Amino acid sequence: MNNGEIKGETGIKEYHVLSLSGGKDSTALAFFIRENMPEVHEQIEYVFCDTEKEIPETYDYLDKIEVFLDKPIKRLKPYMSFDHLYEVHGFLPSIAQRWCTIELKTKVFRKYIYDRFKKDGEGQVQLYIGIRADEAGRAENSIKSTDNLINQIYPFIENGIQKNDVMNILEKSGIGLPDYYNWRKRSGCYFCFFQSKNDWLNLYENHPDLFQKAIEYEFNSYDTDRNKWFGWNMDMPLKEMIKPDNMKKIREDYQKLIEKRLKQKTKYSNSLFESEDCYDESKCLFCHT
């Protein structure tokens, strides 16, 4: 493998990179490229930005991807740990302040790209992103590179690949879905603030140790002053979420939501806590694809 380098139509060196999240879409894209773009598959480099706060099933799935593709995945570590960044920022990341994605993924990835591929201003990185045709708005609204080094490519959009097609690709390849899909809707850190309350409860039941760690990050002044409380879920602290009465209501509300969707045969994406898909992920190309 020669650094993922091939010559483009203009004679400029092109370096082909796919950023894997450990989720279904970016994984399906890797297999799609293998089957439909063999010249790219031969040269492409797979990269995973490791926040070091992923759920265990994500790491297991990445190991499985390497075996099925027979290609290594470059795992990038953050330049500063989440805990240190938390001390620096002084507050937890949130929808309004998504410093976790910026610091642990975007900056780490771009630094790697520049250090590895930028040579005297020559060459361009073709970055393949697993955004589907049925969510093309994410690509339109995503933050584009301000220089000529990175060119974002969306093979699924170009080929009309939608969610059902992605599922078929994973099934046909034999790799299937990550195990976390048995209880969680998407990839990402175990304390991701985009999780629904139902997924938080699923984390509590499947990884109680990680749920407890997430609790320890939250400010604990909720009982004395609600205005000073700040945590992962804007609706209630995690320690309140697992009280029996609250757990019961969350499960019931979630079931009602599922039944409502089945009846109306639509998928709502405007609900922050109980939506199937990540709220406002239009600018996020690393966490949930």
Tens-digit pLDDT profile for residues 22-73:
999 999 999 999 999 999 999 999 999 999 999 999 999 999 999 999 999 9
Which CATH code of 3.40.50.620, 3.40.50.720, 3.30.43.10, 3.40.50.10800 fits the domain covering 5-179?
A: 3.40.50.620
Q: Distance between CA atoms of 169 and 163, rounded to whole angstroms?
A: 10
Q: For residue 28, what pLDDT is reported? A: 97
Q: Mean of the pLDDT values across residues 251-269?
A: 77
Rounded to two decimals, the pTM is: 0.83
Write out the two tokens for 275. Answer: 């939506």
Q: For residue 214, what pLDDT is reported? A: 96
Q: For residue 117, what pLDDT is reported? A: 78
Q: Distance between CA atoms of 136 and 142, rounded to whole angstroms?
A: 10
Residue type for 171, please?
E
Q: Which of 34, 38, 29, 47 is nearest to 6 (CA)?
A: 38
Residue 195 predicted with pLDDT over 80? yes
Residue type for 201, please?
L
Tens-digit pLDDT profile for residues 116-135:
877 656 678 999 999 999 99
Residue 20 predicted with pLDDT over 70? yes
Q: Which of 109, 115, 30 is nearest to 75 (CA)?
A: 109
Tens-digit pLDDT profile for residues 27-38:
999 999 999 999
